[in-house]
Amino acid sequence: MNNSETIRVACFSTQEHDKAVFERAISNAGTCAESSAPKSTIDSAPSSCSRSVNITYFTHGLAASTARLCDDYDVVIAFVNDDIGAETIKALAQCKVKHIALRCAGFNNVDIKAAHDYGIQVSRVPAYSPETVAEHTLALILTLNRQTHKAYNRVREGNFALNGLLGFTLNNKTVGVVGTGKIGCSVIRILNGFGCRVICYDPNKNQEARDLGAQYVDLDTLFAESTIVSLHCPLNENSYHMINSESLNKMQNGVMLINTSRGGLVDDKAIINGLKSKKIGYLGLDVYERESELFFTDHSQDIIQDDNFQRLTTFPNVLITGHQGFFTAEALNEIAHVTIDNIINNNNIV
């Protein structure tokens, strides 16, 4: 085996399922895994591999305080809620880390300028499976509308009453899709199957969305005409808190609002007021602005200190999932495969 270069990688915010898919991706890539890889995987690496990957898995997140652990590593693999601001990047640079490989699509948690200043490249996984997130968006819409989560419990308790379960027919309803990139277009494709009228907004218009029959409108028109508003744009300085008290006022009474993109798109104080005033009739969230303090961890025995989050969970017409839009076997495999490829071949650099 020509083991000419071993890339030492530190993987942060690791869950058990991450280890399994990354070790499989290393094995499939034909690189030479060490550390926690099963011996058989190491032995099966082809003799031709010239760049091998050796991952050490850390369960805790990447932040300025933990970046110091990276002294012996060339690359870090990071996730959506890792804090990769200027302080973290400075600490990584001191450890001589050369590459931050994000195992996600969004990169709003990275100070890209600081990374460039310190000569650290940042890669991401731009399109591991847009359909995966789009399908979860529809799961939120359908569950909120037809209340299958409540029906499940009722029937198990022998309660077959239908009061409180009244939904609406999706067919012919107008859905506003904000952001018509890969996930937005996948959502449009699925909504077409339900016979919805889709209107959309994006500063960069996409012919694919037009070809799918969606009609571009300005944001105010989208808010005014939509029974359902679904967010599919990245978090940046232009989109931060795009859903606020002002934009909510432009929406229909009883609107269904869905956010599977990034928590910071939504001002949570404004949506709590919108729920209390019944402006928002249904709220589906897969993301939350301060989710890094909560998501991906079992807090069932803790006293949760985020009062706005706790308030949101008390409304009967709110459904929150803990950033699981990406979480299918197919998507995880693709994420791991592309991340390893990005590390070895310097692809998908931001």
Establish whether 291 is a catalytic residue: yes
Identify any residues that bridge with 101 across adjacent strands, giving them in sequence order: 77, 123
2, with CB counted inside 10 A (0-12, 13-18, 19+), is: exposed
Measured in whole angstroms, the distance separating CA 87 from the mean position of its chain's CA atoms is 24
Q: Are 56 and 66 contacting, i.e. CB atoms less than 8 angstroms apart?
A: no
- For the CB of residue 324, give the shortest distance to ligand NAI in the complex, in Å: 7
| Residue 183 tokens, joined | 């996930």
**Minimum CB distance to ligand NAI smaller for 41 or for 189:** 189
Handedness of CA 52, 58, 62, 65 (dihedral sign): negative
- Half-sphere exposure in the Cβ direction for 239 (13 Å, CA): 19
**Minimum CB distance to ligand NAI smaller for 85 or for 126:** 126
Catalytic residue, candidates 136, 197, 323, 337: 323
Footprint on this chain of ligand NAI (rule: CB under 6 A): 105-106, 127, 130, 133, 178-184, 201-204, 206, 232-234, 238-239, 260-262, 286-287, 323, 325-326
3-class secondary-structure state, position 329: helix
- Residue number of the CB atom closest to ligand NAI: 181
- For the CB of residue 98, give the shortest distance to ligand NAI in the complex, in Å: 25
Contacts of 159 (CB under 8 A, 6+ apart): none
**Minimum CB distance to ligand NAI smaller for 182 or for 279:** 182
- For the CB of residue 106, give the shortest distance to ligand NAI in the complex, in Å: 4
Establish whether 208 is a catalytic residue: no
Q: How far is CA 270 from CA 62, 244, 267, 291, 309, in A?
A: 31, 5, 5, 17, 13
- For the CB of residue 179, give the shortest distance to ligand NAI in the complex, in Å: 3
Q: Are 172 and 218 contacting, i.e. CB atoms less than 8 angstroms apart?
A: no
- For the CB of residue 145, give the shortest distance to ligand NAI in the complex, in Å: 19
- For the CB of residue 238, give the shortest distance to ligand NAI in the complex, in Å: 5
Establish whether 262 is a catalytic residue: yes
**Minimum CB distance to ligand NAI smaller for 291 or for 341:** 291
Catalytic residue, candidates 23, 289, 291, 334: 291
Closest CA to 291 of 315, 309, 272, 275: 309
User: Largest alpha-carbon pair distance within the chain?
Assistant: 69
**Minimum CB distance to ligand NAI smaller for 27 or for 348:** 348
Catalytic residue, candidates 262, 289, 334, 337: 262
**Minimum CB distance to ligand NAI smaller for 88 or for 239:** 239
Residue whose entry in the numeric block shows the structure tokens 């030492």 = 8
Identify any residues that bridge with 198 across adjacent strands, giving them in sequence order: 175
Q: CA 233, 236, 242 angle in degrees (round to 5)?
A: 65
Annotated catalytic residues are 262, 291, 323
